[in-house]
């Protein structure tokens, strides 16, 4: 799986957000879908406020306000809740690390991962990145089709509820590409 194909696709669907927000699953998130599970995790990231490094108090306060905010708003609605911002270079580093980590997790979770064609790996990666590994496991028919190399069946089984049709169609197209 080539990260230079994966990262732009993920960014297309996740967006590039420079401030903390709540994703559709409710997690505090930054950048290109990088979840920040706890306030301590936010402290380990590079933040700035008006061009200077953010303080611990600013980071914690911003995290707390975003975490307490309503779920389901568009990402920009959360911008006023924190002054902390992340630079593009730091977002790029986060997504590169996330892709490496998720690919390793997929390889450990799916025994045949390394035998799948690259487009199928990219499709499964997108699903896992979007849903988490636990969410991907809720598609047993799709995973069985992948293990059998039945990419047309995988394409028919990859529809996620609550996800934009364009993302579901792009994922199905990757499975169909693997079938060729």
pLDDT 10s digits, 111-150: 999 999 999 999 999 999 888 899 999 999 999 999 999 9
Residue located via tokens 């879908």: 33
pLDDT at 94: 96
Tell me the torsion sign for CA atoms 104, 141, 12, 60: negative
Angle at 126 between CA 124 and CA 127, to 5 degrees: 65
Tell me which residue of 33, 27, 24, 19 sits closest to 126, measured CA to CA.
33
* Spans of the chain, pLDDT less than 70: none
Residue 114's alpha-carbon distances to 4, 9, 65, 107, in angstroms, are 18, 21, 42, 7
pLDDT at 163: 86
CB 9 within 8 A of CB 124: no
CB 145 within 8 A of CB 154: yes
pLDDT at 180: 86
pLDDT at 119: 96
pLDDT at 106: 94
């Amino acid at each position: 799986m080539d990260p230079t194909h994966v990262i732009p696709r993920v960014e297309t669907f996740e967006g590039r957000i420079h401030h903390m927000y709540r994703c559709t699953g409710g997690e505090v998130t930054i950048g290109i879908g990088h979840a920040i599970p706890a306030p301590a995790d936010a402290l380990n990231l590079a933040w700035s406020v008006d061009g200077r490094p953010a303080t611990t108090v600013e980071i914690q306060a911003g995290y707390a306000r975003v975490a307490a905010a309503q779920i389901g708003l568009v990402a920009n609605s959360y911008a006023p809740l924190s002054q902390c911002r992340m630079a593009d270079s730091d977002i790029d580093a986060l997504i590169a690390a996330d892709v490496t980590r998720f690919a390793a997790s997929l390889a450990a979770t799916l025994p045949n991962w390394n035998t799948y064609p690259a487009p199928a790996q990219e499709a499964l990666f997108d699903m896992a990145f979007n849903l988490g590994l636990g969410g991907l496991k809720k598609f047993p028919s799709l995973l069985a089709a992948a293990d059998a190399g039945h990419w047309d069946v995988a394409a028919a089984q990859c529809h996620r509820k609550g996800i934009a049709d364009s993302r579901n169609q792009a994922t199905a197209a990757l499975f169909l590409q693997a079938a060729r």
